[in-house]
Structure 1
Amino acid sequence: MPPPTFGVKLLEAIVDREAGFSWDGSAPTVAEQVRNALVLDHGVDPDQLPGRVLELLTTYTELLTVPARDPGSYDRPGVSEGDVIFGEIGCADCHTPVQRTRPNAPPHLRDLTLRPYTDMKTWDLGEGPFRTAPLWGLGHNIRLLNQNGRDLLLMHDGGAGSVAEAIGQHGGDAAAARAAFNALSAGDKQNLINFVRSL
């Protein structure tokens, strides 16, 4: 499954980020990830593209904006309670809600406060290292899929069809958070899911 590409230039500018792009975080910059995607996903040699095509593809990708979160999210049942639970059971340890961009980033990206829900690090989830996927825009994607009658496919392999199933696939370094989720009451689980679906 391809990771979402919106907000990637902002993620590249996060203070103390350790991971880059792709599921394993191995591409250090957006520009390198664009090159990798052309080669690995499309069989295209970037160096053979005419004119400024590679530059324009990279710039387009860097400028994709993050979908706006519904300002009324916390008016929905369970969302504020789910936000608290998200922190209490350890989800926020990796899906860190707030980040800042570097003071030496390009001028238009300097010293910004972001809410990407990622630490931009890699962790072993039981199947090898994965970059902590940013959760911003997830609710927007879920709504679009629902409106168009499409299946929800989460995780690197699309193997989770719901937020609860995605949490269930968090092993390894995230096993304690998964266990804490499994120990919640049905109501608290639903509140957490409502919160994640609001992002």
Structure 2
Amino acid sequence: MSGSGAASLSPSKAEEFSPPGSGGGGKKRDPLGSGAAIHPILKDVGEIYSRLLDHRPVIQGEIRYFVKEFEEKRGFREVRVLENLKNTVFEANNQTLPKCDQVMHGSLNEALRRLQAGNDMICRLQQTEQEGKQLQTEKLMAGEKQRIAQWEEFLKEQHTLKAVVDEEHAKAMERLKEQYAIMEKDLAKHTL
């Protein structure tokens, strides 16, 4: 309120402070003694009040700026953007998402089928490899048993050969002893 200061006072106070010739009745006394000096003070108080305490003009200006900025200049652009977003989300929920779900299920089923086939092939390969290892182990065990049998036979044969060689050696030693005994007798005969 940028009006006069007297308008901001109550009517009884305005009469007290009104100048004597202004129709205030003149019967009441001026407390300060001079009515002409009070009128500019009241005007100043009214201006100070309107500047410091009355925020309506500033708020009204901000409201007008806000309305102008968001309604007039932008032309409901945010509403259109939100509407477009709503349409996009609705389309995604009703069309795109079911298609993606269907494609995903088809692809996952195909991938699962392939994984199961691969798993079956790996199981067969593993079983074949295990059977091959078992067969190889059996062959190695049979070969080892055969080598052990051959070694035992070889040792028996060597033992038999040793016995034969020992016997021949003993016979040869006996013959040599007899021969040396005969030679000694002959030598003793010749030396005597």
Q: TM-score range by the shorter chain?
A: under 0.3
**Between Structure 1 and Structure 2, which shows a larger proportion of helix residues?**
2
TM-score by length of structure 2 reads 0.16
TM-score by length of structure 1 reads 0.15
- Higher Rg of the two aligned structures: 2
**Between Structure 1 and Structure 2, which shows a larger proportion of strand residues?**
1
